[in-house]
Chains A and B, each alone.
Chain A
Amino acid sequence: MSLKSNLHNLKEKYKGTKMAPAFNALHTFLYLPNETTHGGTHIKVADDLKRTMNTVIMSLIPCLIFGMFNAGYQHYLALGEISQATGFFDSVFWSWDNLVIGLWKVLPLVIVSYGVGLAIEFVFAVIKGHEVEEGYLVTGMLVPLIVPVDTPLWMLAVAVAFGVVIGKEVFGGTGMNILNPALTIRAFLFFAYPTWMSGDKVWVHGAVARDKAIAAGENLDAISGETILGSLAQGKEITYSVWDMFTGLIPGSVGETSAVLILLGGLFLIFTKIGSWRIMLSSVLGALAMGLIFNGVVDAGWIGEGSKFYGLMSTEFWHHLLIGGFAFGTVFMATDPVTASQTNKGKWIYGFLIGFISILIRVFNPAYPEGVMLAILLMNVFAPTIDHYVVQGNVKRRMKRLKAKTA
């Protein structure tokens, strides 16, 4: 007997019992159901939630693979064992050693994220007696991509549990949440364990452990893996070229460094009509606008080189798109259909403000020079309000038209 019919039989056996949703979910996740809908009229759409989710995951895979190589590359580069890669296709970067480190560090993050998250989804489905929701499929893939590579696994597990229960399940599960669950998880980590989420040590595998060894008296060289944003916030020179920023050969959270692969994923989402191009475009415009304002302030001489904001303010405005988590957040998280604005006009406003506020926080947050997470969470909260006013505005306009016609 094949696995499929086995699963089908299990499902039949447990039909009507409490555990039924769990078996059902396993079955439909792996295979098409054996039975089809019968009787009555029904509409069939190719795009169900599961396929939507899988499309997003597909668009994330390049980032994940790149992130694995980058984890190893940054590690060996910091140790001084390899020279800096000359370009995106350099074999120094795409080496077997790099991948081994990446697999060793990143796969556990993925496994913990999915394991804990799906376990909670299953438990809630069984308690509530409904089918397991697919919502966690994407969240589970996003989470390992937006945390530093050395994040302790137990912290990730705690954060995932918090994010899924408090961020999503209490509101009623997938489709009912106000905040993006992946960002809720990251925000939890950020506020709960700030030493693991910011600073110049956490972005490169091994840097924290080495630091501790040095503190304990061992004779080692410290590794500093400051992100570009971190360096800029401290007014340091950055050694990375624009091409490095664009291709992603820079330290950062696991999957968010490569702007080019994120762009690729974004285009794929737009092409499959799953991600909203309005949000992505308006968010980029918002970021550019804020960047231009800051550049203008610097050019006008209102802020001197001595100011602690000078480094980030004087960064060329379009560099902001390439560094930090901005690109990743804009493409994969701002466009989350559940938490974003629903109306087209609303999407423009929502996206623009995300970009605008991201750069604003990035420049002015002294402790942590990145703002895209907080900007998206903030706008998640405001998305329903934006929609409300867009809809009301439309109603008002049409009422006026109606009055003009009947008068």
Chain B
Amino acid sequence: MGLLSKKDAKLITDPLADNNPITIQVLGICSALAITAQLKASIVMSLSVLFVMGVGNVVISLIRNIIPSKIRIIVQLTVVAALVIIVDQVLKAYAYSLSKELSVFIGLIITNCIIMGRFEAFALGNGPWKSFLDGIGNALGYAVILVIVGFFRELLGSGTLLGFKVLGDPIEKTGLYAIGYENNGFMLLSPMALIVVGIIIWVQRSRNKDLIED
């Protein structure tokens, strides 16, 4: 890769798997449980977090030397809040039904532990370019899990993907439903998201034994 040095590239690729914010650091679980019943909602949520984290990390990194350390949490919150409001307003303007569906969870991005965690752990001690990569990387790591969970929950729970009836029509009994298949209502409930995340963690750790902590 010409654009990124090896070290910089690692900032993006590490959070995708071996240092994933959800499955390894176990951060940002709440939104992963709440909004993954539909794949579309997961994707929009991921994009919102991607924007907030990418921009937020750069902003914090730029002003890191002038933030008094005693009030840095408040400054960080202000930055996230401002960005989240932008996302919220954009969604309300251009994707009203989705914004209704995601309801408070867009607003709750402010409290997403991944974001505050990266501000604290990375942006306050690194330059803007690196912080940007780190923000993007972690948001992508978050997105990967959200999309996987959203994919399985929507497919097995509603029999659709992004709203398309990929398994047939449950009411008119076409496709899989013709032979007696039924949607799994459990998949639409939040506990199942927790279990799916758990299974992802299980698979990941049994593939890479280094991740298992004693």
Residues of A within 8 A of B (CB): 152, 154-155, 158, 166, 170, 188, 191-196
In the bound assembly, the distance between CA atoms of A158 and B183 in angstroms comes to: 12
B interface secondary structure, majority: helix
Closest Cβ–Cβ distance, residue B21 to chain A (whole Å): 22
Closest to A212 in B: B173
Is B202 touching A193 in the complex (CB atoms < 8 A)? no
B residues whose Cβ falls under 8 Å from a Cβ of A:
180-182, 184-187, 189, 195, 198-199, 202
Would A194 and B180 count as touching, CB distance under 8 A? no
Whose C-beta in chain B lies nearest to the C-beta of A155? B182
From A195, which residue of chain B is reached at the shortest CB distance? B182
Residues of chain A within 8 A (CB-CB) of B187 are 192
> B180 contacts A191, CB within 8 Å?
no
Shortest C-beta distance, B147 to chain A (Å), equals 22
Minimal Cβ-Cβ distance residue in B for A196: B182
Query: 17 new A-B pairs (CB below 8 Å) besides A166-B198, A188-B186, A193-B182?
Result: A152-B180, A152-B182, A154-B181, A155-B182, A158-B184, A166-B195, A166-B199, A170-B198, A170-B202, A191-B185, A191-B186, A191-B189, A192-B184, A192-B186, A193-B184, A195-B182, A196-B182
Query: What residues of A have a CB within 8 angstroms of the CB of B198 in the complex?
Result: 166, 170
A166 cross-chain contacts in B, Cβ below 8 A: 195, 198-199
**A-chain residues with CB within 8 Å of residue B186 when the two chains form the complex:** 188, 191-192
Shortest distance in angstroms between B193's beta carbon and chain A's nearest beta carbon? 13
- Which residues from chain A contact B185 at a C-beta distance below 8 Å? 191-194
Q: Which residues of B contact A154 (CB under 8 A)?
A: 180-181
Q: Cα distance A298–B186 when bound, in Å? A: 36
- Residues of A near B199 (CB, < 8 A) are 166
Instruction: Tell me how far the C-beta of B172 lies from the nearest C-beta in chain A, rounded to whole angstroms.
Output: 13
Cβ–Cβ < 8 Å partners of B195 in chain A: 166
- The CA-CA distance from A190 to B182 in the complex, in Å, is 13
Residue of A whose beta carbon sits closest to that of B199 = A166
Q: Closest residue of chain A to B179, judged by CB? A: A154
A155 to B186, CA, bound (A): 12
For B195, give the chain A residue with the smallest CB separation. A166
Bound complex: CA of A196 vs CA of B184, how far in Å?
11
Nearest chain B CB to A376 CB, angstrom units: 17
Contacts of A155 in B (CB 8 A): 182
Q: How far is the CB of A279 from chain B (nearest CB, A)?
A: 27
Question: With a CB–CB cut-off of 8 A, which chain A residues contact B180?
Answer: 152, 154
Give CA–CA (A194, B184) in the complex, Å: 9
A112 to chain B, nearest CB (A): 14
Q: Which of A154, A192, A195, A196 has the most CB of B within 10 A?
A: A192
Q: How far is the CB of A229 from chain B (nearest CB, A)?
A: 21
Tell me the complex Cα distance, A91–B198, Å.
53
How distant is A299 from chain B, measured CB to nearest CB, in Å? 38
Most buried by B among A152, A158, A191: A191
The 8 listed contacts between A and B (C-beta, < 8 Å) are: A154-B180, A155-B182, A166-B198, A166-B199, A188-B186, A191-B185, A191-B189, A193-B184
CA distance in complex: A196, B182 (Å): 10
**Inter-chain contacts of B189 with A (CB < 8 A):** 191
The complex places the Cα of A188 from the Cα of B182 at a distance, in Å, of: 14
A195 to B170: give the CA distance in the assembly, Å.
14
Contact partners of A193 in chain B: CB under 8 A: 182, 184-185
Min Cβ gap A210→B in Å is 16
